[in-house]
Amino acid sequence: MTKGDIDPPPFFKSWTAMYGLVLGVLAALILLFYLITVSYS
């Protein structure tokens, strides 16, 4: 099996971009939760 055997993800050109989306959403959520914590503490 080679890298070429794996289909690309929908909406993105590469899997790296897809992983970036998942990690970016995680970072955004942590930041949002931190801001909620600070503003209500």
Which residues are near another protein by CB under 8 A? Answer: 1, 5-10, 15, 18-19, 21-23, 25-26, 29-30, 33-34, 36-37, 39-41
**To the nearest whole angstrom, how small is the minimum distance from the Cβ of residue 17 to another protein?**
12
**To the nearest whole angstrom, how small is the minimum distance from the Cβ of residue 3 to another protein?**
9
Q: Is 25 helix (H, G, I), strand (E, B) or coil?
A: helix
Residues 6+ apart with CB under 8 A from 8: 14, 15
**To the nearest whole angstrom, how small is the minimum distance from the Cβ of residue 35 to another protein?**
9
Alpha carbons 30 and 21: distance in angstroms, whole number: 14
